[in-house]
C-alpha cells in the first residue's frame, strides 16, 4: 500500500441502487479546485469552473448548483480511474443538480480539504459525476482510503478506524452500540492508560539498569511488580468479554445436530418462530441445511437445521449428512438434540464422539412424553465434558426460553454480555492483547524471581508494542493494507 497520500481522491460514498440521493466525496490538497471545475452555481451561466466560488468559500458551507462536465477535455482520464469514463460529453454539459458541502482542513473527516457532492440517487447520476471528477484530475479512491487518511493524519486511531467498518456492517443494535462505543474512543482510552503505565514501568526498570550503582542494584522494586500485575489484570478484564463481543460483532452460526427423528426440524421451527423446515415422521426428511437467523441478547445467531447423522443412508441423504458434519466442524459450538422419550441409541454415542471438545448445548427433546433417561445418562456419553442440558418440547414450546438462555450464556453472555463498553470483539485486537498479557506475565514472574532488569524490560517492551498494535502506535504497512482493504470504496 502506498502511504504517500499527497494526491486528491474521489469516490461514490453511498451504496449503489435507486435512492433519493447519492453522495460523492473528494479529499486532498486540490479538492476545492477540482470541485470548482465540475460545479456551476445556480443562476450562473452554464459553464464549468464556477468562477472559483468553492475555492473562495468558507468552510462548512453548502452551495446549490449544477454538476457539469469539466472544460479540460471530453473524456475521463483513465489513469487510476478504475475504468470510469464518459466519452462524447461536451465541456459544460449539465450532469445533474447538486448540493456541494465544503469542509476545509483540518476540520474534516480526513483532516484534508474535503468536498461532498449530493446528487440524485441512481447509478447514472453518481457515475457520471464521478467520471467528471476523474476527468478534472482526481484519482479514484481505493477501499477505505478516506478513513486511512483520517488515521494517518491523526484524527482517529486504528481501533477507531476499524470501528467505522464495524458500524457500517453492524447487524444488531448491540453490534451497533459496540462499534459506536469504539468509534467514540472507549477502547482507545482504556489502552491509552495501559500504555502510559507500561511506559512508566519500562522507564523505571531501564533507569535502574542504567544507573544500578546510584540506586543500589538492578532488582525490580515491589511497586513496579505490583504495577505490572495491575496492568496484566486490566488486559485480562478486557479479554474476558472478548468471546461475547466477537459474537456481537460477527454473529455466530450454530448447527442443530442429532440422529434422524429426534425432532431437530421441529426444534428449529420452534426457535425461529415459524415453519421453515419440513417436519414428517419419516427419518431422513432433511437432506440439506436450512438456515435462519435469530437475535439472542444482541447476537445474530444463524441456526442451521441439518440432516440427521447416521451411518447407513442413501446417496442423496449422504450428501446432506456430509454437509451437516462440515457445518459442525466449522461452528464454534453445537446444539445437540436427543430424543428424551427413547433410550439412548448407538448413533447418539457416535455423535457425542464427534464433538471433540467443542462446546455443546444438549436439548433433550420430547419433554411432553415420559422420560426414558435422565440428564446424567447424556453426560455419561460425552467424554470428560459436562455441557448444559435443557429438557424441551418442540411440540408445546416448553423449555424453549430456557434453551435460548443457555445458548446465550454459552456464547459468552450474562454478566459480560451486559457490559460491552471497551470490549475487544475484533480478533486482531484480541490476539495482540493476548500477546501483551502473556509478556506481562513473563515480566512479573521474572521480576518476582529476582532476574536481571534487562529481561523484565524486554518483556515490558514486548507488551507495550502489542498494545500499540491495537491503536496503531506500533503497526506496519502490511497490517494497514490488510485492514483497509476490507473497507468499501468511498469510506
Three-state SS annotation for 344-381 = CCHHHHHHHHCCCCCCEEEEEECCCCCCCCCHHHHHHC
DSSP string, 259-275: STTSSHHHHHHHHHTS-
For the ranges 14-23, 81-90, 295-304, which has the lowest average pLDDT? 81-90
Question: Nearest-CA neighbor of 96 among 72, 45, 71, 130?
Answer: 130
What is the SS3 assignment for 87? coil
Residue 468 CA to residue 436 CA, distance in Å, equals: 10
Q: Which residues pair with 336 in a beta bridge?
A: 257, 362
Residue with cell 452555481: 41
Cβ contact 326:346 at 8 Å = no
Is the pTM for the entire model greater than 0.75? Answer: yes
Is the pLDDT at 277 greater than 80? The verdict is no
Question: Nearest-CA neighbor of 368 among 395, 401, 328, 402?
Answer: 395
Cell numbers placing 334: 453445537
Cβ contact 415:384 at 8 Å = no
For the beta sheet containing 21-27, the strands, ordered from the edge strand earlier in sequence to the opposite edge, are 39-41, 61-68, 94-103, 114-120, 21-27, 9-12, 139-140
Residue 410 CA to residue 404 CA, distance in Å, equals: 10
The per-type count for the chain, helices as H runs and strands as E runs, is 18, 13
Residue 162 CA to residue 182 CA, distance in Å, equals: 9
| 133-189 per-position pLDDT tens digit | 999 999 999 999 999 999 999 999 999 999 999 999 898 998 999 999 999 999 999
Please report the domains of the chain, with CATH numbers, ordered by start residue.
9-156 (3.30.1360.120), 163-241+423-472 (1.20.120.430), 247-410 (3.40.50.300)
| 319-367 per-position pLDDT tens digit | 666 777 777 777 888 898 989 888 888 888 888 877 877 888 999 999 9
Residue 177 CA to residue 389 CA, distance in Å, equals: 32
| 283-330 per-position pLDDT tens digit | 444 445 578 888 988 899 998 887 766 565 555 556 666 777 777 777
Is the pLDDT at 415 greater than 50? The verdict is no
Residue 404 CA to residue 381 CA, distance in Å, equals: 23
| 390-402 per-position pLDDT tens digit | 999 988 999 999 9
Read off the DSSP letter of residue 149: H
Amino acid at each position: 500500500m502506498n502511504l504517500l497520500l499527497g494526491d486528491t481522491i474521489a469516490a461514490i460514498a453511498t451504496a449503489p441502487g435507486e435512492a433519493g440521493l447519492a453522495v460523492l466525496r473528494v479529499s486532498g490538497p486540490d479538492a476545492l479546485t477540482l470541485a470548482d471545475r465540475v460545479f456551476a452555481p445556480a443562476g450562473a451561466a452554464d459553464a464549468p469552473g464556477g468562477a472559483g466560488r468553492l475555492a473562495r468559500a468558507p468552510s462548512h458551507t453548502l452551495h446549490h448548483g449544477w454538476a457539469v462536465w469539466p472544460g479540460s477535455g471530453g473524456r475521463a482520464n483513465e489513469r487510476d480511474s478504475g475504468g470510469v469514463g464518459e466519452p462524447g460529453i461536451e465541456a459544460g454539459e449539465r450532469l445533474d443538480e447538486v448540493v456541494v458541502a465544503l469542509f476545509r482542513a483540518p476540520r474534516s473527516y480526513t483532516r484534508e480539504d474535503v468536498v461532498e457532492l449530493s446528487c440524485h440517487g441512481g447509478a447514472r447520476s453518481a457515475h457520471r459525476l464521478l467520471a467528471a471528477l476523474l476527468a478534472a484530475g482526481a484519482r479514484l479512491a481505493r477501499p477505505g482510503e478516506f478513513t486511512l487518511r483520517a488515521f494517518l493524519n491523526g484524527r482517529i486511531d486504528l481501533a477507531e478506524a476499524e470501528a467505522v467498518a464495524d458500524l457500517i456492517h453492524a447487524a444488531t443494535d448491540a453490534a451497533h452500540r459496540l462499534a459506536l462505543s469504539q468509534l467514540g474512543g472507549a477502547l482507545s482510552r482504556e489502552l491509552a492508560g495501559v500504555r502510559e503505565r507500561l511506559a512508566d514501568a519500562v522507564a523505571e526498570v531501564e533507569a535502574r539498569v542504567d544507573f544500578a550503582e546510584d540506586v543500589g542494584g538492578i532488582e525490580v522494586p515491589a511497586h513496579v511488580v505490583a504495577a505490572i500485575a495491575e496492568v496484566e489484570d486490566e488486559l485480562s478484564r478486557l479479554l474476558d468479554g472478548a468471546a461475547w463481543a466477537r459474537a456481537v460483532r460477527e454473529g455466530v452460526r450454530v448447527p442443530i445436530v442429532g440422529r434422524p427423528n429426534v425432532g431437530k426440524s421441529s426444534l428449529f421451527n420452534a426457535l425461529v418462530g415459524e415453519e421453515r423446515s419440513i417436519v414428517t415422521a419419516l427419518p431422513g426428511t432433511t437432506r440439506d441445511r436450512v438456515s435462519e437467523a435469530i437475535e439472542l441478547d444482541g447476537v445474530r445467531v444463524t441456526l442451521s437445521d441439518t440432516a440427521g447423522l447416521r451411518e447407513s443412508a442413501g446417496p442423496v441423504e449422504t450428501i446432506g449428512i456430509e454437509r451437516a458434519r462440515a457445518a459442525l466442524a466449522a461452528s464454534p459450538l453445537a446444539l445437540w438434540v436427543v430424543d428424551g422419550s427413547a433410550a439412548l441409541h448407538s448413533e447418539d454415542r457416535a455423535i457425542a464422539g464427534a464433538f471433540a471438545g467443542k462446546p455443546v448445548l444438549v436439548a433433550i427433546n420430547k419433554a411432553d412424553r415420559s422420560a426414558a433417561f435422565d440428564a446424567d445418562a447424556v453426560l455419561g456419553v460425552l467424554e470428560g465434558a459436562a455441557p448444559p442440558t435443557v429438557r424441551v418440547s418442540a411440540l408445546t414450546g416448553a423449555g424453549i426460553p430456557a434453551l435460548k438462555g443457555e445458548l446465550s450464556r454459552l456464547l459468552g453472555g450474562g454478566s459480560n454480555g451486559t457490559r460491552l463498553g471497551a470490549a475487544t470483539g475484533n480478533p486482531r485486537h484480541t490476539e495482540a492483547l493476548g500477546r501483551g498479557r502473556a509478556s506481562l506475565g513473563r515480566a512479573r514472574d521474572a521480576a518476582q524471581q529476582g532476574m536481571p532488569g534487562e529481561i523484565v524490560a524486554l518483556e515490558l517492551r514486548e507488551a507495550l508494542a502489542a498494545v500499540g498494535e491495537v491503536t496503531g502506535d506500533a503497526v506496519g504497512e502490511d497490517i494497514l493494507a490488510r485492514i483497509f482493504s476490507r473497507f468499501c470504496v468511498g469510506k
